[in-house]
Amino acid sequence: MKTPPYDTGKIKIGCNYTPPRAWQPTQSEAMLQRALLGEKPAIDTSGIYIVLGCAALMALPWLVLAVQS
């Protein structure tokens, strides 16, 4: 529902008003709220992928050197 601005004769009050957007929590905010409410935490797969990627990048040079010798 769009409401027109209030016109006082000299100025228009609320002519640049835009209604606020719906709030969307971030992943960490939602995880904190679930923890405070006592819900069972979900597995954080992004952290698992980061650890596996780092382990693969650390093992790659070692494997290359092991094959060459």
pLDDT digits (tens, 9 = 90+) for 46-61: 888 999 999 999 999 8
- How far apart CA 33 and CA 27 sit, in angstroms, is 10
> What percent of the chain clears pLDDT 90, i.e. is strictly above it?
29
Residues 29/37, Cβ–Cβ less than 8 Å: no
Residue 2 in this model has a pLDDT that exceeds 70: no
pTM above 0.75, yes or no: no
Pairing type for strands 12-13 and 6-7 reads antiparallel
